[in-house]
Each structure stands twice: as structure tokens, then as C-alpha cells.
A and B are shown apart, each in its own frame.
Chain A
Amino acid sequence: MKTVILALSLVLSAALSAQEAETPGKCYNRSTLGLLCGNQSSVTFNVINGYRFSPNFGAGVGIGTEFYLGDQHFSCFGDVFYQLNKSSSKPFAALNFGISEPRQQNSFNKGGVFAGASIGISHFTGKHFGLTTSVGYRISMLDFRSSWWDDYITRGYFKQLELRFGFSIL
């Protein structure tokens, strides 16, 4: 799974780079570092590469990493956003959904899916580069198999407040 995520990311990045050269300003990258706060708290890092279908609307694919119950997870997700284009400070709202897999494949931590929503603002210091901050809510649904009992799955619903800081490139 890890290999798939990395390969997907590389392919997408390459494709977007090529596309960017032809149609400047249509592609975007948003890279953020942040915190997931809840009963389970974790640092989180995301990189999203996407395409802007209009000045306001865009969609992309991202990869990220965070921790659940001490295990590092990698996530692969889809991202859609709507952005207001009023000035150099551009408020936006984003939705994302994807899968989360543990870094170490073992028989206990089976991974799962997640979805999130956030609002934020990107403050552009130039034509292409902006600083971004956002706050959101994320719910992850992850399965854990008991190593003792047979056919015993505990599904954890992790609900977290998501705070992110980073940069956007258009």
C-alpha cells in the first residue's frame, strides 16, 4: 500500500509539473504541517497536488502521514476546495476523503478510511506563492484486529480537530 501511495504521488507530481509548464496557474500545490487534536492527538503532514477548474474551484489528490495509537499511518486522499478570489488573502473551504494505512503492515492494525472538512485562508505574498492556515474537523474509521481472539475487530472512530499551517503554490 505504501508503495502504491508513493508511486501515485510521484506520477501525479510529474504530471502536474508537466501540465504546469503548459498552463501556468491552473495547477496548485498545498503542503501543510499541523496537529490533529482529540482523544488521539498527532502531528500531521499533507501534500496536495491538484488542478483548478476555475479561479474558485479545484480538486486534487494528496498524501499525508499521521499517528494513531502509536502507529504511523500514511494516507492517500482526494481533495476538493472552493476559494474566494477577492484579494491577496483568499479564504477557502475544502473537503477531503481517503484511506489511511499503517506504515508497518501487521495483523493487528488494519487501517481504514477518513473524511474531513476545513476552512482556511491563503495569504499570497506573490503571484504564485502564499502562506496557508486552516482549521477543520476530521473523522477516521480504522479497524484493529485482536491478536488473541479470532475474528475480533474493533473499529475506532477517531474524531479530531485539525489545525494546519503551510504554503500554497499556484
Chain B
Amino acid sequence: MKYPVTLLCALLLVLVGCKDKYIARYKMYEAVYMDPETFRSSVAFEIARPVKLRGNIYIKDNYLFVVETNAGVHFIDNSNPSNPVKTGFLKIPGCSNIAIRGSVMYVSSLMDLVCIDLSNMAHPVEFRRLENVFPTQEAVCLKNYPKIAVESSKGLVVDWKIKEIEEETDQIQYSGGGNGNGGIMVFEGDVMLAASNGNPGSGSSGISGSITKFALAGDYLYAYDMGRLIPVDVSNPQFPVPAAEIWMQGNVETLFPHGDHLFMGTTTGMLIYGLSNPAVPHYISSVSHMRACDPVVVEDNYAYVTVRSSGFCGGNINQLQVIDISNIQSPELKKTFEMRGPYGLGIDQGTLFICDGEAGLKIYDASQPEDCGNQLIEKYRHIRAIDVIPHNQLAIVIGENGIYQYDYSNRKNITLLSEISIEQ
């Protein structure tokens, strides 16, 4: 009798000792609230400060503007790209997108469109605010973290604090959905890094990278927000007038104006809209792909699309796609080239820049567009590149840890001119 009892106890001990345990370590967003009155009276130009969080980059004349997502815009005098000088910080709570036409900067600040007079760069001032133009009511999330439930009674969500969590869980969290914590909201999807406007555009508009939900084309500013394309008439930059919003098919992530067309990267493909009636863009054609994130840029008769699969982007492809748009009614996917996990991209006179995430910045010769993916000129692995503006032989690249400027006037000897660190 003694031995069976001993054996039974040993077996129980073993069984108890063989119970697996799972510890989840992750980060969550906790809302930072502000009451609407304070929110709308907080715009102020302050002394220059370190860039703390990556956001969109935008250039206009000799200035480089770096959006610090949800906080404001850094003004950087880039007259000498080898020695950029931070001149100030424009504090705008809930800031995510910018575009500049003439001496007016348009800034999305949660649901408002804020107009900033830049005629004196040393003293930019808010001169107009179009309230409730955008449906967005929450600050942008740069990362796909779960959110602690928002209590709207506490005010507007103007930013997010990151909270580190370590907890025992009963299963491994592989994919989407809740994570077992009762107070958590699931991810809402529309949190792509939003940038400033698209290509060089007309007149005195600025230039931005490819990851953008703001685009200036002709006399209109186009903004995408929560399923809607919102044209804003800026023919008189001092008095922007929103036109009727247009419901879009698919989840649009980036806008790129080119000629009389607006190219849009969506989670399911590239859309082309016509701007013959700029107040009412109309659908022309599209190219579909598996679900993924995909910025688009255009040069001549080709559109270049990077398709990325990870997290909320879904899918399982990471590619550069080259699309022939010589027949705008019937664009044709010509070539695909495998990438690691590409974000933004840019093209300037046959030089193609791909921000391939962890694989770094890649520069290709795109003089033969359908073979561009095989024509690697240079690769910078140390930059976790997110977006790029190539213009006038100067490539401005924003990565997770800094802003880098490269001179590519000699493609055989591309040189780093300067670096501004991002203090996360």
C-alpha cells in the first residue's frame, strides 16, 4: 500500500509540475485627454526641441518640416542640408498631416483643419480653423498596440501614453482580436502613419513623402479620413472651403497626386481617381492585390507600389510592384520584386528609393522601370527607413531613429550629408 501511495503522489507532483505557463509582455496605449477649449487654444510656436517621435516629413523652399505625431511640427532651416538648423516647434495637439501652399500650412488636428500663416517663418501663427472637417476624433497611433478603453467623457484623445504590461495569460497571442484583458479595445485599423502632401504639385506647394493622407493637386487639398475623401478648395489659400465628402471603396492609406489624377494606396490595391472635376474626384480604374499596406508614387508612365504585410496590414506579401499606367483606364501590373517589409518610397528622375523597413534604405536605378528591382545602386542597412522625399539630388529619409539626408547627384557615390536623431 505504501508504494502505490508514493507513486500516486509522485505522479501528481509531476502533473502539477508539467503545467505550462505563458507570460505576455506587450505595450498598450492609454489615452491622453484634453478638453475641447484647451485643445483649440493650444497652438503656439515654441523654441526648437529634440524630435521625440517620428512622423511625416515635408519640404517647402529651404525648410524641412517634421511632424511629431500628435504633438506638432518641427521647423528646420535646411538651406544647408549638411547642417540643418532647428528653428522652432509649432505645438498643435492632435497633429498628423500637413500640406503647404504658398505661405499657408494646412494641418490636420484631430477633427479640425488648422491654417497657419508662414509668411514669417520665425513667427508662424494660426489664422483660421475649420472645425469638425474630419470625422477623426482620436490621436494617431504610430504602432499597432492594444488600447485601453477610451472614456469620451474625459475629453478629446489628443495623444497616447505607452504603458508596458506583463501578465500571465492562458494562451499565446498569435494574431488579431482581444488579448484577454477585459478593459482593452481592439485595434481600429485606420492608424497608418499619415503624412503631408504628395508630389511637387503646382505652383508653390511643398513636397512630401509617399505615406500620406493629405494631397495638394491644383486648387484642391484632398484629405482622406475614416472612409471618406474630403476635397478642400484652397484656390484662395486664406479661405479654404471644404467640398462634399466622397465615400471611398477600400481602406485608403496613402494619396499621391499626379497630373489630373489622384493615386491611392489601399489595403487591397491601387485606385486611380480622375480630377477633371476637382471638387468631385471620380473613379477611373484600379489594380488589386492581396490585403497589405501599399504606398504609391508615380513617374512618367509607371506607378511604383510597395506592398507590405505585417500586423494590421494583413496578407503575406512584401513586394515592389511596377504598374504600367500608360493606359490610365486599364493599368497593368508589369513586374513584382520581392522586398523585406517595405514602407514608403520615392522616385526622382529614374532614381527609385525604397524604405524597406528592417532591411534599410535601398536605392535603385529605375531608368528601365520594368527591371528596376534588379538594378540596386546602394543599400543602407543601418537605417530602419520609413519614408523618403527625393528631390533635386537630395534624399531626405526618415527612419525609426533619425532623419538622414543624402546627396545622390553622383549615383556612384551617394553621400550622407547630415543626420538628426529622433529621441524616442
Contacts and interface: CB of A to CB of B under 8 A. Distances in A.
A151 B24 CA distance: 10
B358 to A, nearest CB: 10
Interface in B19-44: 19-27
A152 B24 contact: yes
A107 B310 contact: yes
Given A149-B144, A151-B27, A153-B26, A137 B17 contact: yes
B172 interface: yes
Assign chain A's interface to a size class. 20 to 34
Interface string B157-191: 00000000000010011111101000000010000
A39 interface: yes
B23 to A, nearest CB: 5
A146 interface: yes
Contacts of A154: 22-25, 169, 172-173
B145 interface: yes
B172 A69 contact: yes
A16 B145 CA distance: 51
Interface in A142-170: 144, 146-161
Contacts of B312: 148
B26 A152 contact: yes
Contacts of A38: 18-20
Interface of B: 14, 17-27, 143-146, 169, 172-177, 179, 187, 310-312
Interface of A: 37-40, 69, 107-108, 137, 144, 146-161
6 contacts: A38-B20, A148-B187, A152-B179, A154-B24, A155-B25, A159-B19
Given A107-B310, A152-B26, 16 more contacts: A37-B18, A38-B20, A39-B19, A137-B14, A144-B172, A144-B174, A149-B26, A151-B27, A152-B24, A154-B172, A154-B173, A155-B23, A155-B25, A156-B22, A159-B21, A161-B18
* Across the A-B interface, the 6 shortest Cβ-Cβ residue pairs: A38-B18, A152-B26, A148-B176, A39-B20, A157-B21, A150-B143
